[in-house]
Chain A
Amino acid sequence: MSSYPHAPGFVVGDRPKVVTSRFEYTDSFTIERYLATDGYKAIRKALSKPAADVHEEVKGATVLGRGGAGFPAGTKWGLTPQQVWPRYLVVNGDESEPGTYKDRLLMERDPHQLIEGCLIACYAAGLSQCFLYIRGEMALAQERVAAALNEAYAAGYVGKNILGSKFSVDIVLHWGAGAYVVGEETALIESLEGNRGMPRLKPPFFPAANGLYGQPTIVNNVETLANLPWLIRNGVEAYTAIGTKTSPGTRMVAVSGHVKRPGVYEIINGTTTFRDLLYGEEFCGGIRNGNKLKAFVPGGGSAPWFTPDQLDLPFEASQVGPAGSMLGSGAIMVMDETTDIPAAALTLTHFYAHESCGKCTPCREGGTWLERILTRVVNGTGTDADLQQLIEVGTSICPGDFPHASNEALGISAVPFPYKMTTICFVGPSAYAPIHSALTLFRSEFEARVTKRITIPVTAVGAAS
């Protein structure tokens, strides 16, 4: 690793830090520290150019969305219909995918970087107002962002005629009430409008055309926007020099579970492998107690699981997808050899069944049904027919082949991502994903738990022969 451009305070030769450069300071969330470390220089630079140029830069840098779907931000901004006003930026700070806690740190430790990112996005994409939706449970993040926003307003970085230019934008904070599904962009918009957080069906309408209050709306993830100040300050070339062509820059991953040093790490997109991350001394430092790795979830609780067979895959959507899973929100959950796999699957399924919003049938009814059957299996009162039933219910939520990883020992090859679904959003399939992975890769552990169903031969007198 060599000559990446760096944020001040870091020695050349370190890993590049695009969004976490201020995490080392204890006062990283104050405007003083932010200004002392190149803060609000990017918006100044952006305002000196036409908005279209800034948009082109973001497009050119291929900043992939960091929320889960990985859609390029610059392209997304270009989808709004022309000449329709007002149009909004909605910041998705409702990070709630199991295992994910990167956006929380970005909001707690560097709120000004997010605010500056919002300003750049609004300027470049021509958005008239910004709504910052922060998850209800993140009390410290709410406090820090609110304080930072007050500082930024007072200093004239947000509000009317920013830095003496003609560009004006207001940022409105909104605190969620704690529902997982509100992390889905259309459900977030519903919630922001004051309705029940239930996803809207898309198509026909995507938020870019018809979103908040029926107006064109761009929904971006916190980390995506936090990338923008560095990108604008250092330019497209510096940004694309990091990572690969299809996945430039860095990305934040949150590792939890059975590793020596769980935590949030900023890794290089496209080149860092799961092995680097889990075993590298600069990252997690290996599995706890010298245990063996059994399985890991590569992209948040809803992603199909990987086993050690997939450790050498890089953080690159175009490789992880065909391998049968997704990078999603960048949450890696590690399970070592001591893990009770059916119980682990139940924990995840319980979460998704509980968090179903209740709008569409397969998720509302199917999620709970899966949880009930699996509970029986985990408790040791299930039968082998229950294992088949889990798959049958799963097929009602996701018809067709469900993606899973390959496994050499089992002799199975991968089914690529994504899946088909009968639901409106991904909550329903997410309840099934852990079950499918666990049953495919660790079926013996389930079979050991269940009793074989006894077939009673029926010999009724006069029965049709």
Chain B
Amino acid sequence: MTTVDPTNTTPVDPNAVSLTINGKAVSARKGDLIIAAADKSNEFIPRFCYHPRMAPAGMCRQCLVEVEGPRGPMMVVSCMTPVAEGQVVRTDTEQVKKAQEGVLELLLANHPLDCPVCDKGGECPLQDQAFSHGPGESRYVEEKRHYEKPIPISDNVFLDRERCILCDRCTRFADEVAGDALISFTSRGNNTQVMTFPDEPFSSYFSGNTVQICPVGALTAKPYRFKARPWDLDQTESTCTTCSVGCRTVVQSSRDELVRYQGVDIDPVNWGWLCDRGRFNFESVNSDQRLTTPYLKDAQGNHVATTWSAALDTAARMLRTSLATSSDSVAIIGGARGTNEDAFAWAQLADAVGVNQRDAQLADGLPAEIFSLPQASIDEAVAANTIILLSPDLKEELPVLFLRVRDVAQKRKSKVVEITSRPTGITPSAWKTVLVEPGKIASTVASGLDPAIVKQIGSGSVSVIVGRMNLAESAESTVLALAEILHLAPQAKVLPVLRRGNVRGAVTAGLTPQQGAADTAEILELSAAGKIDTLVLLGSDPLSDVPDADLARRGLAGARNIISIDAFMTPSSSQAHVVLPAAAFGEKNGTTTNLEGRMSNVAQKITPAGTSRPDWMIACELASALGKDLGFNSVEDVTAKLVKTVAQFAPAANTKALRHDGVLMNHPAPLTLSRTTLPIPDRNSYDYRIVSFRKLYDAAVGTAKSPSLVHLAEGASVVVHPLDLARVGVEHGSHVQVISAKSTVVLPVATSESVMRGTAWLPFNQPGNDAREMFDVQADVIDVRIEKLA
């Protein structure tokens, strides 16, 4: 007899469903699929087409189970049947075994048993489940299907149609998740095959995910093909720091060399997905162009390899001499590419010797006060009723965040309002796209928004994803636009999307101008004026990244000493007097912070190249050479002090959480932004206002030093509206001269109907003639003339 306990106030969950699987009581949520409920209760049901992050297709038929129905047991596919109260599921009856073995035999019928030479062999769901749920032997004696063995379907992905079991995972991913429906089934029946459209490669930024989720060896990625066997791999979980999304990955090596990254599914961030840049740029860590030893510049200006002690001595002497004059004669630029520990050790060193001029951002970000607004996590940002994008093209800069936003937009869970100067990857899924000429964002938000958008903003929760949408437009323009949005939606939460790997961690750890000291742009101006004696480049390359080529050049030329800590000889480090080789991703332990302030660990998998060392260790060495002791003997010491010293990092004391989902940092008390207007000059009708933006593949070292990615950067160009080009009087594809107040650059010209009349697109940091020659960090907007070559 059951009685109701009146003191029991535990609310009954209306969405709880209880069922039994093989006699075991299982609790699930309404809407869960049987296969997911079985997974949670450790009852494995074999499957191929089912993937928890995609809509079920029910087509491989491997997951057949029996469910008790009114007319006896019914055979259903567990990947498409939702749980129901009191449901009785059996996965172990004769009938189920027979059906599962039958389907597996049929899947193997045309599958070539070339496992010994297949990259998937050893980690292959088909192979594994053939052993666990298969009939043991095949009775298929006919000739198998034959197709040309692997055909490239994109630059990095190969397709072997003989191995394909047509589970629809890759094609569903491309269509549903990535929005690049470039692969699809063709032909019919026994001749069905996955194929691209004629002359249209599977050029998706997310193509590597299809390789990861392929349940057989049909899709393989060029960077890993024939590099290792799964049983040779050693692996460790880490966090990708290619951009600031902070996707969870597993770093795999063989013979002390990185061979593969795979996405790890964590709920708060990447759901198992990675972008191709993050997935394949391990090649740059293995590059033979890595710096393996310190260098000193000799009297003739040549770099000569040297020992660490000689290099550190020289660097310490430079710093000591400069500090003896004034601590303002030293400046540190960079730190966003390392770990939290790297940044913190350098901030501690700077504190110890009184250097206030330090900045992890390269004049291409936003002021650090952006982190002091009411913060949204990624989950909170995509769960808002209205998501306002005041950001760069997420698909190009922060690809996996793009997938998260696209997911809610496609499923009509949230409405995306995009305010931008050019259509982006999210535009097809956005509810509204507001196209604004550079410089006019704030004024448009203040007075020119569609009333429907204003109404929508007022109707529920709002999140603002804010970043630097146009590198030829001042950061202030974005900040003021944000101020207007926050005025319109005072409860809105902000997700800052600064792009560089650990920029948020570095800024929070202290690599940001102290007490009103100079930021990167100002440091470079000071340096150009001869006021910087020693300039430290902490994994930064101002010559490539600062959106003002002239300023960067003058700044570096004006510094008496440059100390560069870098993994590669970059344009900036080749001007340095001391070059110290830094350990790269995968070569050091520590923690990193993603764009939402989530701290998680990065892990060492291989030995650092040559004699390179992590940045934090170099900071310690320099400190002791300067007579200061930072007190760090290991990276754990740095983490421990960081957690104790910087209040925002306190949650990182939870070291267990750091090793998987990560923990969100504490946020400071929120600020309010002030609203003013910028004096934006009117555009001359012969001029074009520049919209400059990063593409996923550009001239950045991670891409440039990865052989599989380097050719994917499309090269510098200028893109205008076809009618504007007609006005210039040249053909699409020919070269034009682009003239700004600062410089003239010759670029190939392309057209697109998507360009707003009167604006010109200039992809940032692409190989070729450098558009940054025309930029000026002091200007709010940059107008150029486009003319025929003389």
Q: Which chain B residues lie closer than 8 Å to A396 at the CB level? A: 99, 102-103, 105-106
Q: Does B75 contact A (CB under 8 A)?
A: yes
Q: Mark B432-457, 1 if CB is under 8 A from A, else 0.
A: 00000000000000000000000000
A365 close to B188 (CB less than 8 A): no
Q: Which chain A residues lie closer than 8 Å to B109 at the CB level? A: 365, 369
Q: Which chain A residues lie closer than 8 Å to B107 at the CB level? A: 361, 365
Q: Does A164 contact B (CB under 8 A)?
A: no
A360 close to B188 (CB less than 8 A): no
A201 close to B77 (CB less than 8 A): yes
CB-nearest residue of chain B relative to A201?
B58
Interface residues of B in 87-135 (CB under 8 A from A): 95, 98-99, 102-103, 105-107, 109-110
Q: Does A354 contact B (CB under 8 A)?
A: yes
Q: Which chain A residues lie closer than 8 Å to B58 at the CB level? A: 201, 360, 424
User: When A359-B59, A360-B61 are in contact, do A366 and B188 touch as well, CB less than 8 Å?
Assistant: no
Q: Which chain A residues lie closer than 8 Å to B103 at the CB level? A: 361-362, 396, 422
Q: Does B26 contact A (CB under 8 A)?
A: no
User: When A204-B80, A361-B59, A361-B165 are in contact, do A367 and B189 touch as well, CB less than 8 Å?
Assistant: yes
Q: Does B82 contact A (CB under 8 A)?
A: yes
Q: Does B508 contact A (CB under 8 A)?
A: no
A423 and B60 alpha carbons, distance in the complex (Å)? 9
5 chain-A/chain-B pairs, Cβ below 8 angstroms = A361-B166, A365-B110, A368-B189, A369-B140, A423-B61
A422 close to B102 (CB less than 8 A): yes
Q: Mark B54-96, 1 if CB is under 8 A from A, else 0.
A: 0000111110100000000001010011100000000000010
CB-nearest residue of chain A relative to B191?
A358
Q: Does B7 contact A (CB under 8 A)?
A: no
Q: Which of B81, B102, B106, B189 contacts A204 (CB 8 A)?
A: B81
Interface residues of B in 135-152 (CB under 8 A from A): 139-140, 142
Q: Mark B37-62, 1 if CB is under 8 A from A, else 0.
A: 00000000000000000000011111
Q: Which chain B residues lie closer than 8 Å to A359 at the CB level? A: 59, 192
B192 close to A395 (CB less than 8 A): no
User: When A361-B61, A361-B165, A362-B61 are in contact, do A368 and B190 touch as well, CB less than 8 Å?
Assistant: yes
Q: Does A392 contact B (CB under 8 A)?
A: yes
Q: Which of A356, A399, A400 contacts B189 (CB 8 A)?
A: A356
Q: Nearest-CB distance from A171 to chain B (Å)?
A: 29
Q: Does B10 contact A (CB under 8 A)?
A: no
A424 close to B59 (CB less than 8 A): yes
Known interface pairs A360-B59, A400-B95; 5 further A-B residue pairs with C-beta atoms within 8 A, sorted by A's residue number: A179-B188, A355-B189, A361-B61, A362-B106, A423-B61
A310 and B216 alpha carbons, distance in the complex (Å)? 49
A420 and B60 alpha carbons, distance in the complex (Å)? 17
Q: Does B185 contact A (CB under 8 A)?
A: yes
Q: Does A389 contact B (CB under 8 A)?
A: yes
User: When A362-B106, A365-B106, A422-B75 are in contact, do A357 and B188 touch as well, CB less than 8 Å?
Assistant: yes
CB-nearest residue of chain B relative to A358?
B192
Q: Nearest-CB distance from A379 to chain B (Å)?
A: 13
Q: Which chain A residues lie closer than 8 Å to B192 at the CB level? A: 357-359, 364
CB-nearest residue of chain B relative to A368?
B190
Q: Which chain A residues lie closer than 8 Å to B59 at the CB level? A: 359-361, 424
Interface residues of A in 406-453 (CB under 8 A from B): 420, 422-424
B189 close to A353 (CB less than 8 A): yes
Q: Does B9 contact A (CB under 8 A)?
A: no
Q: Does B187 contact A (CB under 8 A)?
A: yes
A165 and B106 alpha carbons, distance in the complex (Å)? 57
Q: Does A194 contact B (CB under 8 A)?
A: no
B189 close to A364 (CB less than 8 A): yes
CB-nearest residue of chain A relative to B184?
A196
B190 close to A399 (CB less than 8 A): no
Q: Nearest-CB distance from B86 to chain A (Å)?
A: 17
A399 close to B95 (CB less than 8 A): yes
Top-4 shortest CB links A-B: A396-B102, A358-B192, A356-B189, A365-B106
Q: Which of A179, A393, A420 contacts B75 (CB 8 A)?
A: A420
CB-nearest residue of chain A relative to B95?
A399
Q: Which chain B residues lie closer than 8 Å to A462 at the CB level? A: none
Q: Which B residues are closer than 8 A to A by beta carbons?
A: 58-62, 64, 75, 77, 80-82, 95, 98-99, 102-103, 105-107, 109-110, 139-140, 142, 165-166, 184-185, 187-192
CB-nearest residue of chain A relative to B186?
A196
CB-nearest residue of chain A relative to B165?
A361
A353 and B103 alpha carbons, distance in the complex (Å)? 16
CB-nearest residue of chain A relative to B187?
A358
Q: Does A203 contact B (CB under 8 A)?
A: yes
A372 and B106 alpha carbons, distance in the complex (Å)? 14
Q: Which of B77, B105, B106, B185 contacts A196 (CB 8 A)?
A: B185
A420 and B69 alpha carbons, distance in the complex (Å)? 14
Q: Nearest-CB distance from B388 to chain A (Å)?
A: 28
A354 close to B189 (CB less than 8 A): yes
Q: Nearest-CB distance from B342 to chain A (Å)?
A: 51
B64 close to A422 (CB less than 8 A): yes
User: When A201-B77, A422-B103 are in contact, do A361 and B62 touch as well, CB less than 8 Å?
Assistant: yes
B105 close to A358 (CB less than 8 A): no
A399 close to B106 (CB less than 8 A): no
A353 and B188 alpha carbons, distance in the complex (Å)? 10
User: When A361-B165, A362-B106 are in contact, do A356 and B188 touch as well, CB less than 8 Å?
Assistant: yes
Q: Which chain B residues lie closer than 8 Å to A203 at the CB level? A: 80-81
Q: Mark A335-368, 1 if CB is under 8 A from B, else 0.
A: 0000000000000000001111111111011111
Q: Which chain A residues lie closer than 8 Å to B61 at the CB level? A: 360-362, 422-424
Most A CB within 10 A of own CB, among B99, B103, B105, B106: B106
Q: Which chain B residues lie closer than 8 Å to A360 at the CB level? A: 58-61
Q: Which chain B residues lie closer than 8 Å to A366 at the CB level? A: 106
Q: Which chain B residues lie closer than 8 Å to A353 at the CB level? A: 189-190
A420 and B106 alpha carbons, distance in the complex (Å)? 17
A392 close to B106 (CB less than 8 A): no
CB-nearest residue of chain A relative to B96?
A399
Q: Which chain B residues lie closer than 8 Å to A201 at the CB level? A: 58, 77, 80
Q: Which chain A residues lie closer than 8 Å to B75 at the CB level? A: 399, 420, 422
CB-nearest residue of chain A relative to B139?
A389
A389 and B187 alpha carbons, distance in the complex (Å)? 28
Q: Mark A194-207, 1 if CB is under 8 A from B, else 0.
A: 00100001011000
A358 and B185 alpha carbons, distance in the complex (Å)? 9
Q: Which chain A residues lie closer than 8 Å to B140 at the CB level? A: 369
CB-nearest residue of chain B relative to A356?
B189
Q: Which chain A residues lie closer than 8 Å to B191 at the CB level? A: 358
Interface residues of A in 295-339 (CB under 8 A from B): none
CB-nearest residue of chain A relative to B193?
A358
B166 close to A358 (CB less than 8 A): yes
A369 close to B142 (CB less than 8 A): yes
Q: Which chain A residues lie closer than 8 Å to B142 at the CB level? A: 369, 372-373
B185 close to A399 (CB less than 8 A): no
A358 close to B80 (CB less than 8 A): no
Most A CB within 10 A of own CB, among B80, B190, B191: B190
Q: Which chain B residues lie closer than 8 Å to A364 at the CB level? A: 166, 189-190, 192
A358 and B166 alpha carbons, distance in the complex (Å)? 8
Q: Which chain B residues lie closer than 8 Å to A393 at the CB level? A: 106
Q: Mark A370-397, 1 if CB is under 8 A from B, else 0.
A: 0011000000000000000100110111
Q: Nearest-CB distance from A126 to chain B (Å)?
A: 26
Q: Which chain A residues lie closer than 8 Å to B184 at the CB level? A: 196
Q: Which chain B residues lie closer than 8 Å to A365 at the CB level? A: 106-107, 109-110, 190
Q: Nearest-CB distance from B127 to chain A (Å)?
A: 17
A358 close to B139 (CB less than 8 A): no
Q: Nearest-CB distance from B730 to chain A (Å)?
A: 40
Q: Which chain B residues lie closer than 8 Å to A356 at the CB level? A: 188-190
Q: Which chain B residues lie closer than 8 Å to A423 at the CB level? A: 61
